[in-house]
């Protein structure tokens, strides 16, 4: 376990050890909902106020015993290897490397074209309240019951509510569930235009609740039931609630301790088992236009991988360049005479990655990933995927005093 006392939520002192303890207690109820489901997860190498990024493609430092599922990219190219969390060991490893939030797809491997549920994500716009979300959720529940569909609610752990409609049918596609969800959302928006909006434009959401039907697309994920959230200064849980609780219109926030106290039974168990059918046959003629998919030139990544180079310059000699937010951060490298396996790394500024360079020889190019660490901690645990520079290395300030600039770069045995 890496640095279990690392603080994740500074205002409350909630640590990685606390997150591990929560997920260990939640695992009995959580794991059945994740079985064979590809997940993306939001990883925090430092605190929730620091850097964070989505991991879709399994990191290079993922242990061999972690199960993955290869999914073709929508834009072509190599497959994305999504992690599936089928056991406690995998769940604990993910939390150990900074995964606070877990976001599964609405399908199970190997049948990634089959939707297991329909989900409605209720998001309050500026000026709308959680009570407004509860009112919309009750309207949605009643509309679904009218077409003989049972639904189940959970708080998102952020601002809103999510309503799940289990299907568990082998023949329901994401096209069908997305179309159905949009038709229902549009109908409710027409019935209560001052309370509900179903259009994507954020300008239309003021004082209204947006029913996000697009979460049913095959490439979208929704936060897992029982997942921690990192949306506020304290950790909260995406927790199932009863319709009676929703009807009271009261705030429904659950800290990790509150959540554990409610875990005597799984209120979301029917989502795994209940078999239901959509009430209409959906044809190409009835399908609304789908949201535009990311273009081939989209620079958003599917993982935390970034570029690094080992460069040789006339002035400084050997340098390590790490790409961070579109800039090369330079470190001049020197051998450490006291410790042969360690290098001394001296910060040497930064510049844009698209800068035209002269008199620079590139010894190596590759990818690196941040496992843990931040500027505030003055320590970075890095994983390099290169030839000369590979595996896990620690980049750490040698002396805490700012007057001393030197850092060390040390391989982990």
**Are residue 118 and residue 44 in the same domain, yes or no?**
yes
Query: Is residue 2 assigned to a domain?
Result: no
**Are residue 317 and residue 208 in the same domain, yes or no?**
no
Query: Is residue 1 assigned to a domain?
Result: no
Q: What percent of the chain has pLDDT over 70?
A: 93
**Are residue 314 and residue 344 in the same domain, yes or no?**
yes
pLDDT for 299 equals 36
**Are residue 276 and residue 328 in the same domain, yes or no?**
no
pLDDT for 403 equals 65
DSSP 278-297: -SS---GGGPPPPPPPPPTT
**Are residue 243 and residue 322 in the same domain, yes or no?**
no
**Are residue 206 and residue 336 in the same domain, yes or no?**
no
**Are residue 345 and residue 398 in the same domain, yes or no?**
yes
**Are residue 248 and residue 334 in the same domain, yes or no?**
no
Structural domains of the chain, count: 2
pLDDT tens-digit series, residues 239-279: 999 999 999 999 999 999 999 999 999 999 999 999 999 98
**Are residue 246 and residue 339 in the same domain, yes or no?**
no
Last residue of a domain, one of 257, 286, 315: 286
| More reliable by pLDDT, 145 or 287 | 145
Query: Is residue 156 assigned to a domain?
Result: yes
**Are residue 195 and residue 119 in the same domain, yes or no?**
yes
**Are residue 147 and residue 59 in the same domain, yes or no?**
yes
- Is the model's pLDDT at 375 over the cut of 90? no
pLDDT for 78 equals 87
pLDDT for 203 equals 77
As a whole number, mean pLDDT of residues 152-158 equals 96
C-alpha distances (whole Å) from 99 to each of 12, 22, 39, 236, 372 are 18, 13, 11, 14, 11
User: What contacts 356, CB < 8 A, 6 or more positions away?
Assistant: none
CATH number assigned to the domain comprising residue 89: 3.90.920.10
Q: Rounded mean pLDDT of the chain?
A: 89
CA nearest to 299, candidates 330, 323, 317, 281: 323
As a whole number, mean pLDDT of residues 140-164 equals 96
Query: Is residue 79 assigned to a domain?
Result: yes
pLDDT for 337 equals 77
Range of the domain at 28: 7-286
The whole-angstrom separation of Cα 103 and Cα 407 is 36
């Amino acid at each position: 376990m890496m640095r279990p006392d690392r603080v994740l939520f500074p205002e409350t002192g909630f640590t990685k050890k606390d997150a591990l303890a929560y997920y260990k207690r939640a695992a009995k109820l959580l794991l059945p909902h994740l079985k064979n489901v590809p997940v993306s997860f939001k990883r925090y190498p430092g605190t929730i106020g620091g850097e964070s990024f989505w991991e879709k493609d399994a990191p290079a430092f993922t242990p061999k015993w972690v199960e993955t599922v290869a999914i073709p990219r929508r834009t072509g190219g190599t497959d994305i290897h999504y992690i599936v969390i089928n056991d406690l060991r995998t769940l604990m490893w993910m939390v150990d490397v900074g995964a606070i939030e877990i976001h599964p797809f609405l399908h199970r491997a190997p049948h990634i074209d089959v939707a297991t549920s329909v989900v409605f994500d209720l998001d309050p716009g500026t000026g709308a309240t959680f009570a407004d979300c509860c009112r919309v959720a009750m309207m949605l529940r009643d509309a679904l019951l009218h077409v003989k569909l049972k639904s189940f609610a959970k708080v998102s752990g952020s601002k809103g509510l999510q309503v799940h409609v289990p299907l568990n049918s082998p023949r329901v596609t994401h096209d069908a569930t997305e179309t159905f969800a949009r038709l229902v959302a549009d109908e409710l928006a027409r019935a209560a235009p001052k309370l509900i909006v179903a259009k994507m434009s954020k300008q239309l959401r003021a004082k209204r609740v947006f029913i996000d039907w697009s979460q049913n697309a095959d490439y979208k994920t929704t936060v897992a039931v029982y997942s921690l959230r990192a949306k506020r200064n304290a950790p909260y849980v995406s927790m199932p609630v009863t319709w009676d609780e929703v009807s009271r219109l009261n705030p429904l926030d659950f800290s990790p301790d509150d959540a554990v106290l409610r875990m005597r039974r799984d209120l979301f168990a029917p989502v795994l088992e209940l078999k239901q059918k959509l009430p209409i046959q959906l044809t190409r003629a009835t399908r609304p236009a789908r949201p535009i998919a990311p273009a081939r030139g989209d620079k958003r990544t599917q993982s935390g991988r970034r570029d690094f180079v080992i460069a040789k310059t006339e002035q400084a000699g050997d340098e390590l360049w790490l790409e961070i937010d579109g800039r090369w951060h330079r470190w001049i490298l020197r051998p450490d005479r006291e410790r042969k396996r360690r290098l001394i790394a001296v910060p040497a500024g930064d510049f844009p990655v698209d800068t035209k360079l002269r008199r620079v020889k590139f010894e190596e190019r590759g990818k690196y990933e941040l496992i843990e660490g931040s500027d505030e901690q003055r320590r970075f645990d890095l994983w390099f995927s290169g030839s000369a520079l590979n595996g896990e290395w620690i980049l750490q300030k040698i002396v805490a005093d700012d007057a001393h600039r030197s850092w060390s770069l040390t391989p982990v045995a």
